[in-house]
């Protein structure tokens, strides 16, 4: 027996005065993490706003837990969808605990207080997001990163079937990005929630998403993340023609002229990784057939060419030598 979808999008058209994107069909199922991506201005935010009813559908329909969203009141919608926006307007006089507690507001009468269980859950989430030292801080005293984490914590406390996140890691350092993105995926899997998020950090977004919703050249494409990414050449789609994604090195590189210089690297240690990045940045291509071989031994770098073995103490010295002596090496 198939589990009913949390979100169904059927032949949807979105826009403002006129449709900017049509024929959108997609589902979000329990436990799925979905990356919505496309170039700036393609309609990502417009789609999200249409899902949570800030904008009306210009055609087709949206169903949430089997109900047509057109017939869902704002009060009931807040029990079905929790949203974290990239820019938040909140009262600076709210303390962090109170800000996160707002996630329980849809379930309360104006006179009702938090239950003991709700309070314990909020403190648990605060601890999970490493925000305990800031529990009594006002919102205006929080860093952008901690405020972002608090908003995500609030959305999780809201405990809705569908969680929508617009650039959830935009204000976070790399350590917090990895932690938050891991927490979001675990939340979806453990609690059987559907998560739809946008991100300009494409590699990080692709790494955790089960499905990819791609808006490409005013066309809607959706499916298994890896299938869509491969078939639509996603990693090259978002960069200009003078750059490309190197699948071997797993990072973006600037296209080089045809007569570029080649180097072969031996070893897989951390220092070789950073040497590779420096070489590529300085116009070299890493190639297995190169006559120039560089290896690492005891924190030194050794250039092997023909009968010569030259040792250098740093990556900078290697680059300087190759720049100044490469032609001489081949002429000798």
Q: What's the first-to-final CA gap in the chain, in angstroms? A: 74
Judge whether 27 and 161 are in contact, CB under 8 Å. no
Q: Output 171 or 328, whichever has higher pLDDT.
A: 171
Q: What is the DSSP string of 89-102?
A: ---TT-BHHHHHHG
Helices and strands counted in the chain (H then E): 11, 17
Residue 250 has pLDDT above 70, yes or no: no
Per-residue model confidence as pLDDT tens digits over 274-320: 998 888 888 888 888 888 899 998 889 999 988 889 999 999 999 99
- Residue 157 binned pLDDT confidence (cut-offs 50, 70, 90): very high
Compute the distance between CA of residue 284 and CA of residue 109 in angstroms, rounded to an integer.
66
Mean of the pLDDT values across residues 175-196? Answer: 94
pLDDT on residue 30? 97
Q: In the predicted model, what is the mean pLDDT of the chain?
A: 89
Tell me what percent of the residues of the chain surpass a pLDDT of 70: 91
The three-state secondary structure class of 84 is: strand
pLDDT band at residue 1 using 50, 70 and 90 as cut-offs: low
Local confidence band at 329 (pLDDT 50, 70, 90 cut-offs): low
Give the Cα separation of 205 and 274 in Å (integer): 24
Q: Is the CATH number of domain 7-237 3.40.50.300?
A: yes
Q: Is the dihedral of CA 85, 89, 91, 92 positive or negative?
A: positive
Per-residue model confidence (pLDDT) at position 96: 96
The distance between the two most distant Cα atoms of the chain, rounded to a whole number of Å, is 88
Locus of tokens 């070789």: 272
What pLDDT, on the 0 to 100 scale, is given for residue 257?
Answer: 58
pLDDT, position 313: 93
Q: Measured on CA atoms in the order 251, 206, 196, 141, is the torsion positive or negative?
A: negative
Angle at 271 between CA 265 and CA 277, to 5 degrees: 65
**Per-residue pLDDT band at 327 (split at 50, 70, 90):** low
Banded pLDDT at 49 (limits 50, 70, 90): very high
Q: Which of 324, 288, 332 is nearest to 307 (CA)?
A: 332
Query: Global pTM?
Result: 0.82
Q: How far is CA 288 from CA 250, 305, 307, in A?
A: 17, 14, 19
Is residue 8 a contact partner of residue 62, using CB atoms and an 8 Å limit?
yes
Say if residue 272's pLDDT is above 70.
Answer: yes
Instruction: Name the phi and psi angles at 114, rounded to 5.
Output: -65, 140
Per-residue pLDDT tens for 54-109?
999 999 999 999 999 999 999 999 999 999 987 777 888 899 999 999 999 999 98
- Domain boundaries in the chain? 7-237, 250-331
């Amino acid at each position: 027996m198939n589990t009913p979808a949390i979100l169904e999008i059927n032949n949807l058209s979105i826009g403002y005065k006129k449709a900017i994107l049509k024929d959108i069909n997609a589902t979000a199922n329990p436990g799925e993490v979905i990356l919505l991506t496309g170039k700036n201005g393609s309609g990502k935010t417009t789609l999200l706003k249409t899902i949570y009813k800030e904008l009306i559908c210009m055609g087709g329909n949206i169903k949430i837990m089997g109900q047509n969203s057109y017939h869902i009141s704002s009060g009931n919608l807040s029990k079905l969808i929790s949203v974290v926006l990239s820019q938040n307007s909140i009262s600076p006089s709210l303390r962090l605990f109170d800000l996160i507690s707002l996630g329980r507001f849809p379930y309360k009468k104006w006179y009702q207080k938090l239950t003991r269980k709700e309070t314990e859950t909020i403190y648990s989430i605060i601890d999970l997001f490493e925000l305990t030292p800031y529990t009594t801080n006002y919102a205006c005293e929080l860093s952008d990163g901690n405020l972002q984490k608090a908003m995500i914590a609030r959305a999780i406390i809201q405990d809705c079937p569908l969680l929508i996140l617009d650039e959830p890691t935009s204000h976070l350092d790399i350590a917090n990005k990895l932690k938050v993105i891991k927490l979001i995926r675990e939340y979806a899997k453990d609690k059987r929630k559907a998560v739809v998020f946008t991100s300009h950090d494409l590699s990080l977004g692709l790494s955790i998403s089960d499905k990819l919703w791609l808006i490409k050249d005013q066309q809607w494409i959706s499916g298994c993340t890896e299938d869509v990414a491969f078939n639509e050449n996603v990693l090259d789609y978002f960069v200009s023609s003078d750059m490309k994604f190197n699948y071997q090195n797993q990072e973006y590189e600037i296209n080089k002229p045809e007569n570029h210089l080649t180097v072969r690297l031996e070893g897989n240690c951390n220092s070789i990784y950073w040497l590779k990045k420096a070489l590529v940045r300085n116009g070299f291509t890493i190639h297995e057939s190169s006559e120039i071989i560089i290896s690492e031994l005891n924190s030194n770098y050794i250039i092997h060419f023909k009968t010569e073995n030259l040792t250098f103490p740093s990556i900078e010295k290697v680059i300087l030598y190759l720049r100044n002596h490469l032609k001489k090496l081949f002429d000798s």
